[in-house]
């Protein structure tokens, strides 16, 4: 278990199977590049300097190798500069300008969720990424975490002058979040096609009381079984978070 300290940013682009705790949440994370090296998925968690704001970010870059490293560094720098701010929309607007300067290889989907203990809100921004899922502590069903305007904003690195929007929702102790890259739902079976978001939600709904650690292994084991044992189709990253 890695315990985030004040002002720390944890994560990157390396393969991992780790658990992380901060002041306000615990998370279990799995990330594996399809080529066994530095793939297209980036993940970070950060804890602000006064232990009030925990930010979770997952990004999937169009390119590989150096392109991913460049975007990962840009995300890290932007997180560092905005660590104490709840304005995730401004952070994505800044990253979009950076991706546009780098070029088409820097096209990136991003989902960002920020838990602010001071007001009990979860702030949520999505730029073309698979929607995060949420399960309230007093319910057994997972559902998509919706943006206020109803749809995701464009991916980074495509449209100049994009204005990203942020939604806020109250979140309680015991609530759980599930963030993932498209490699999870695009696992493929010759017999059954793609794994799909609906199959993922059905799987999660079968285990409403399991911890983030247990759910992580349940999901990874199931998509491996579904795909015939390997996960070489794409980079696979998932992050399961429980609010303390």
**CATH number, domain containing residue 79:** 3.60.40.10
Digit-coded pLDDT (tens) for 59-110: 998 877 777 888 899 999 999 999 999 999 999 999 999 999 988 888 999 9
pLDDT band at 148 (very low <50, low <70, confident <90, very high): confident
- All residues at 6 or more sequence positions from 66 whose CB lies less than 8 Å from its CB, including other chains: none
Digit-coded pLDDT (tens) for 7-63: 999 999 988 999 999 988 999 999 988 765 555 799 999 999 999 999 999 999 887
DSSP string, 146-159: --TTSSPBPPBTTS
**How far, in Å, CA of 123 to CA of 86, rounded?**
7
**pTM of the model as a whole:** 0.93
Average pLDDT value over all residues in the chain: 90
Instruction: Please report where in the chains the tokens 């968690």 appear, as a residue.
Output: 45
pLDDT score at 50:
92
Residue range of the domain that includes 29:
2-243
**How far, in Å, CA of 47 to CA of 24, rounded?**
10
Total domains present in the chain: 1
pLDDT band at 233 (very low <50, low <70, confident <90, very high): low
């Amino acid at each position: 278990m890695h315990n985030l300290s004040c002002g720390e940013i944890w994560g990157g682009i390396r393969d991992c199977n780790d658990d992380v705790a901060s002041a306000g949440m615990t998370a279990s994370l799995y990330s594996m590049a399809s080529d066994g090296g530095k793939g297209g998925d980036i993940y970070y968690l950060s804890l602000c300097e006064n232990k009030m704001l925990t930010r979770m970010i997952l990004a999937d870059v169009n390119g590989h190798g150096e392109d991913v490293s460049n975007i990962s560094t840009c995300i890290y720098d932007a997180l560092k500069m905005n660590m104490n701010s709840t304005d995730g929309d401004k952070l994505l607007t800044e990253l979009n300008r950076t991706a546009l300067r780098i070029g088409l290889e820097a096209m990136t989907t991003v989902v960002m969720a920020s838990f602010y203990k001071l007001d009990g809100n979860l702030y949520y921004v999505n730029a073309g990424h698979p929607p995060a899922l949420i399960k309230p502590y007093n319910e057994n069903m997972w559902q998509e975490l919706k943006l206020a305007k109803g749809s995701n904003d464009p991916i980074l690195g495509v449209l100049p002058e994009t204005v990203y929007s942020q939604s806020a929702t109250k979140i309680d102790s015991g609530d759980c979040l599930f963030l993932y890259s498209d490699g999870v739902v695009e696992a493929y079976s010759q017999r059954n096609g793609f794994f799909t978001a609906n199959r993922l939600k059905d799987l999660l709904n079968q285990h409403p009381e399991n911890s983030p650690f247990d759910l992580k292994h349940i999901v990874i084991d199931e998509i491996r079984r579904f795909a015939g044992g390997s996960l070489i189709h794409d980079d696979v990253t998932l992050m399961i978070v429980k609010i303390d």
